[in-house]
Amino acid sequence: MKTKVRGIYAFFSTVPGKNKVYVGQSEDIHQRITTHKKQLKDNKHYNTHLQGHYNKYGEGSLEALTVHCANYTENLTHLEKQQALYHKELGFILFNQANIADSMIATPEYRAKIGRKSVEMWRNPAYRAKQAAMWQDPEFRAIQIARMKISYKKASDNGSYDKVAMRERSIRMWEDPVFRAKQSRKGTWTEAQKDRQSEITKELLTRPGHREKLHASAIAATSKRVEVYLYGVSQGVFCSASEASRQLGLWSTAVSSWAAGSKKSGKGYTARYV
């Protein structure tokens, strides 16, 4: 049985003139590299740049190496970004450029450039149609959802994702009159968008039980007193699920679901109506 190795790994391109690298992190590097290779072989890898390179040049075009073995006190996300930046400074082109595209490393000019490129892509009708078709595929959608869950977990583990802090930041932003005016202008819908949204709403309301479910959820979220527990310890009694969510940094729909019994718990929290 192989010993698990925690740390940072990299896939280097062996094609002459292709100075490219993919940098990643894992609690078990050997298993993670094996997973990457299987996904590439099955043509199901989430990184389209790495998959494209593999498809074009073949299995032998990538070499996997362990670049840093980490102990259990080291932050893997921070080490991954350091290695990505280090290889970029050496002249490598990153297959996963997102590794350095955060506020800790990326400059405002870089983020503005990425933003402009994204806007240009989404203005292209062919690109939008391609994205829509991809998201209709259940397998692709499942892979993307799994990736988002992993990203949120990484962010939660390293402290960069704090739901309470994000909620407080959002409140401060919306208290700014200039920001509210800007969002109001940005959120102005065209007649076509209004018609489309109206059609979606009407279609939802025709589904059996959907109208009754919305009505019950609204009443439960705004009128019933609810007591919330964290690992069995009461966090207090609140006048509504909405009030509990504001005070504890939770989603009101989650609190309502716990109290109604449709969901048992989440992150150690449970609730009941009193």
Say which residue, 172 or 100, is predicted with more confidence: 172
18 or 62, higher pLDDT:
62
Range(s) within the chain of domains with CATH label 3.40.1440.10: 7-106
Closest by CA position to 47, among listed 17, 22, 78: 22
Question: What pLDDT, on a 0 to 100 scale, did the predictor assign at position 37?
Answer: 92
State residue 195's pLDDT score: 82
- C-beta separation of 8 from 76 below 8 A: yes
pLDDT at 103 exceeding the cut of 50:
no
Ramachandran region, residue 58 (left: φ > 0; alpha: ψ -120 to 50; beta: rest): left
Instruction: Using only the alpha carbons of the chain, give its radius of gyration.
Output: 24
| Mean pLDDT within 127-137 | 85
- Delimiting residues of CATH 1.10.10.10 domain(s) in the chain: 217-273
User: What pLDDT, in 10s, does the model give residues 137-162?
Assistant: 888 888 888 877 777 666 666 555 56
pLDDT, position 10: 92
% of the chain with per-residue pLDDT over 70: 82
Whether the CB-CB separation of 23 and 88 falls below 8 Å is answered with: no
What is the value of pTM for the model shown? 0.41
The Cα–Cα gap between 21 and 231 comes to: 44
Residues pairing with 266 in the sheet: 269
- Is residue 12 predicted with pLDDT exceeding 90? yes
Tokens of 230: 């964290």
Secondary structure string (H, E, C) spanning 15-33: CCCCCEEEEEEECCHHHHH
Mean pLDDT of 50-57: 90
- Sort 154 into a burial class: Cβ within 10 Å, 0-12 / 13-18 / 19+: middle
Q: Is 16 exposed, middle or buried (0-12, 13-18, 19+ CB in 10 A)?
A: exposed
Please name the CATH architecture into which domain 217-273 falls. Answer: Orthogonal Bundle (1.10)
Mean pLDDT of 50-72: 89
Q: Which CATH number fits domain 7-106: 3.40.50.720, 3.40.1390.20, 3.40.50.150, 3.40.1440.10?
A: 3.40.1440.10
Distance from the Cα of residue 200 to its chain's centroid: 25
Residue 205, pLDDT > 70, answer yes
Q: Are 27 and 6 in contact (CB under 8 A)?
A: yes
34-44 average pLDDT score = 91
Residue 261, pLDDT score: 78
Provide the CA 68 distance to its chain's centre, in angstroms. 26
The DSSP symbol for 186 reads: H
Q: What is the mean pLDDT of residues 254-267?
A: 79
